[in-house]
Amino acid sequence: MNYARMVIEKEAPEEYGYDRIRYNLSESSIADQKLSEIGLSLPDLTLFYGEHRGDKALRELIAGQDTGLSPDYVLVTAGAAGALFIIATSLLSDKDHLVVVRPNYATNIETPRAIGCAISYIDLDFDNGFAVDLAEVAAALRPNTRYISVTCPHNPTGTMMSRADLDGLIALAERHGCYLLVDETYRDLSYGQSLPAAASLSPRAISVSSLSKAYGIPGIRIGWLVTQDAELYERFLAAKEQIGICGSVIDEAIARAMLERRDEFLGALMPEMKLRRDIVQQWIDREPLVDWVPPEGGVVGFPRINVGPAFDLDRFYNGLLEKHGAYVGPGHWFEMPRTYFRVGFGWPTEAQLRGGLDAISAALREQN
């Protein structure tokens, strides 16, 4: 494995220093939660080795969100990142091929690169609403393609596939004999109708999710993968056991308690997240230099700066941070032009969000 640090991690706000940022619009989750704030308390746990597959009651809660899924299809992992690492290292070698719909979550690209497999990229287009092109995906498939990698709701744009597109990708995987990996981290933050977990629709689909982004508890490092393919599940389980044997019983107890009150938590959260999305939309409506594809899920969007080649993007981003104290995720975090940036509207307070958006406008005027 030829590891290289991901740009998004090297430039993460925790690396730069939270104390140096006034308006942090770079985060991709809701605000970080405290146990007391969400009404959770820890039982008197025995700190033993937990179930290798993950706490059964937790797996039942995860599987119970979709028709036809069994707890035996669920493998609890160290965050969604742990699930993605297990999948990539279990399925890929330097002789294999992967299709990645890009932009994508960085781990879905960097781990395969470290493995050394061949990668074909399907680049989403702003002017097409960041919609996936099934014909382009089909044309990229090779005899040694092991899986197709997508995120939905999409990170960083917040767009969603239609059910027809999801079914079409699954059909491609089934016909080709490869897998479809769907990173569903934002699924519980869908503003309209949520798609079913891809893994509930076919043994050729693998679903990945976590409690980090939608529930604001990334510090417990709980994620999961779901697959109906029993042989594949055993391979993933073997990888987990060799990496860390099992998860933390403390983390899994917190995760279980959170999912037991999932409906209550999301019921209070979603109206606030819709309000935040509307605040960004209202800012874009009055900001002539910026446009976006309105997010349909998650708490991030991917605006485009409509400026010419003479516009100094380096000075813009430096001024935005150093002079105005506002931090966003520039396009190069996602291997996109820096005329794009990710804005996270779920993590900051409403006042911080409004202040950060005003700072972007001010920085644009200074460089235009």
What pLDDT does residue 14 have? 84
What pLDDT does residue 204 have? 98
- The predicted model scores a pTM of 0.95
DSSP H helices, 46-94, are: 56-63, 79-91
Domain extents for the chain? Answer: 7-32+263-366, 41-261
Q: In what order do the strands lie in the sheet with 341-344?
A: 300-301, 341-344, 329-330
What pLDDT does residue 274 have? 97
Distance CA 161, CA 201 (A): 15
CB-CB contact of 209 with 224 (8 Å): yes
Q: How many CA atoms lie within 13 A of 178 on its CB side?
A: 25
Residue partners of 1: CB distance under 8 A and separation at least 6: 89, 114, 115
Closest by alpha carbon to 309, among 353, 367, 234? 367
7-32+263-366, superfamily in CATH? Aspartate Aminotransferase, domain 1 (3.90.1150.10)
What pLDDT does residue 368 have? 67
Intervals of the chain under pLDDT 70? 368
Sort residue 60 into left (φ over 0), alpha (ψ -120 to 50) or beta: alpha
Q: How far is CA 96 from CA 6, 87, 99, 146, in A?
A: 22, 13, 11, 7
**CA angle, 116 then 118 then 124, to 5°:** 120
What pLDDT does residue 1 have? 81
What pLDDT does residue 15 have? 84
Rg of the chain over Cα atoms, rounded to whole angstroms, equals: 20
Distance CA 334, CA 340 (A): 9
What pLDDT does residue 44 have? 86
Distance CA 175, CA 16 (A): 46
Return the structure tokens found at 116: 């050394």
CA 129 and chain centroid, separation: 18
Torsion sign across C-alpha atoms 317, 319, 322, 328? negative
Return the structure tokens found at 58: 């937790």
Class of domain 41-261: alpha beta
